[in-house]
Amino acid sequence: MNLPSATSGYVEGVTLTDSDAAVRAASTSPESSDLINILIVDDEPRNLTVLESVLDAPRYRLVRAESAEQALLALLADEFAVLILDVRLPGLTGFELAQMIRERKKNAEIPIIFLTAYFNEDQHVIEGYDSGAVDYLHKPINPAILRSKVAVLVELYLKQRELESANRALMAEVAERRLAQQQLYELNNTLEQRVLERTEAHKRSEEQVRLLMNEVNHRSKNILSVVMAVAQQTVASNSSDFLLRFSSRIQALAVNHDLLVDGQWKCVDASDLVRGQLAHFAELIGQRITVEGPRLRLAPLAAQSVGMVVHELSTNAVKHGALSVENGRVEISWRLDEDDGSENFTMSWIEKGGPPVAPPIHRGFGTTVITKMTEMSLGGKVELSYASSGLIWRLTCPAKNILEMA
């Protein structure tokens, strides 16, 4: 694209000398992991220099690209918060480049702002948005407006990074707690073996086991308290709603924990586990909530995962799903199946009669709990369907991964 000057028809009210341009260009390329990368693409170097002048800020690192090839190489090398893209490029149009960027999983979510002085008709604007743009600006551009739009997108990018960091920290805490629970389970087995070897002393041994189980109970609840404290520190900058929801999940873990203590950390009955998580819906069980399945004893770690899933699904159902309306119903069932000589466990949560269902726009932590975390914990496969009749969740995993093996 050839323009009469670096400022003519490009950005309103910006005047830049050659010496100023050199200073601006030098100031936008420091080496620092703390800076936020912004990619600006235009085949006219003078236009890139003007953009650098407009967006010059201490926390921004502006990366220049004068062609589609340079832009793609830059995207391979770094992570960017925003991409500012001129529509008219040699070889590829800005629309075509945007479509190529969207096809790469790593770059699919980068917000794109199109700039153009030529493609002003409605059909071009629509094509820009169809290519994945979040904004389409016509030249000459008001510098204040461009800076404001970029600032908003940068803040959204930083919030997303904070949430991803919080999720990673929570996943690490879950893994650590699983290890601690396994150690406690192994300790309990050792203690039981010692009790059996001391058959000539029943009353003294039983008292000793009771005291030791109380100690296990005390330590496990301390672990839950630590998880809560870490969560509050990790997401201190986020909304109180997130903390409230996370606190509710901790309470769900506590319900599972009490059931495990009652079973002396050997197993939890599947029906008791499900009904315990639905205790606050007791009046609906047998009417709008059906619970069906054979009597199965779930292993401690499996019980924790299944309990969390039932809690998440019931919370979602009462907020947005079948339990949020008067005639909605929920069907919960589980069974064992034989498949090629191996035994599989299947559990389903099916909602009917609720409001219209649609997939969520953003994948929240609750969805992670009922899908990825469950698959990771039980070595199985989770199917999550947003059918028009209502949400359907189904877990399939090897029976040995979830049942208590006597």
CATH code of 246's domain? 3.30.565.10
Whole-angstrom distance, CA of residue 406 vs CA of residue 198: 21
**Is residue 378 included in any domain, yes or no?**
yes
Span 259-295, pLDDT tens digits:
655 655 567 899 988 988 887 777 889 999 999 999 9
- β partners of residue 393: 349, 384
- For the entire predicted model, the pTM comes to 0.41
**Structure confidence at residue 235 (pLDDT):** 58
For 21, the token pair is: 């341009």
Same-domain status, 251 and 391: yes
Residue tagged 């932590």 (tokens): 365
Domain end among 174, 198, 223: 174
Identify the helix (H) or strand (E) that includes residue 396: strand 390-398
Which stretches of 198-295 are DSSP H helices? 202-234, 240-262, 270-277
**Is residue 207 included in any domain, yes or no?**
no
Number of helices and strands in the chain (H, E): 12, 12
Domain end among 126, 150, 174: 174
Pairing of strands 381-387, 342-352: unpaired
pLDDT in tens, the chain (406 residues): 333 333 445 556 544 444 344 334 333 444 445 899 999 999 889 989 989 999 999 999 999 999 889 998 999 888 999 999 888 888 788 888 888 888 888 888 888 888 887 666 666 667 767 776 778 787 788 888 888 889 988 988 889 888 888 888 888 888 888 888 888 888 888 888 887 776 665 766 566 566 546 545 644 654 555 455 435 544 544 555 666 666 665 665 566 556 655 655 567 899 988 988 887 777 889 999 999 999 999 988 888 789 888 888 988 888 889 988 888 999 999 999 987 778 999 999 999 999 988 888 877 767 887 898 889 889 999 999 998 889 999 999 999 999 987 5
**Is residue 205 included in any domain, yes or no?**
no
Amino acid at site 104 = R
Same-domain status, 251 and 378: yes
**What's the CATH code of the domain at 162?**
3.40.50.2300
Number of domains into which the chain is organized = 2
Name the 3-class secondary structure at 307. helix
Residues 356, 311: contact at Cβ < 8 Å? no
For 176, the token pair is: 């650590």
**Structure confidence at residue 398 (pLDDT):** 94
Same-domain status, 247 and 371: yes
**Is residue 301 included in any domain, yes or no?**
yes
Same-domain status, 161 and 310: no
**Is residue 198 included in any domain, yes or no?**
no
Whole-angstrom distance, CA of residue 308 vs CA of residue 395: 13
Domain end among 146, 174, 202: 174
Task: Verify cis geometry, omega within 30 degrees of 0, for the bond prior to 140.
Answer: yes
- β partners of residue 362: none
**Is residue 291 included in any domain, yes or no?**
yes
**Is residue 186 included in any domain, yes or no?**
no
Whole-angstrom distance, CA of residue 387 vs CA of residue 352: 10
Whole-angstrom distance, CA of residue 34 vs CA of residue 56: 16
**Is residue 71 included in any domain, yes or no?**
yes
Span 22-47, pLDDT tens digits:
334 333 444 445 899 999 999 889 98
Same-domain status, 247 and 150: no
Same-domain status, 279 and 365: yes
Same-domain status, 249 and 397: yes
Same-domain status, 151 and 257: no
Q: Domain range holding 289? A: 241-401
Residues 56, 27: contact at Cβ < 8 Å? yes
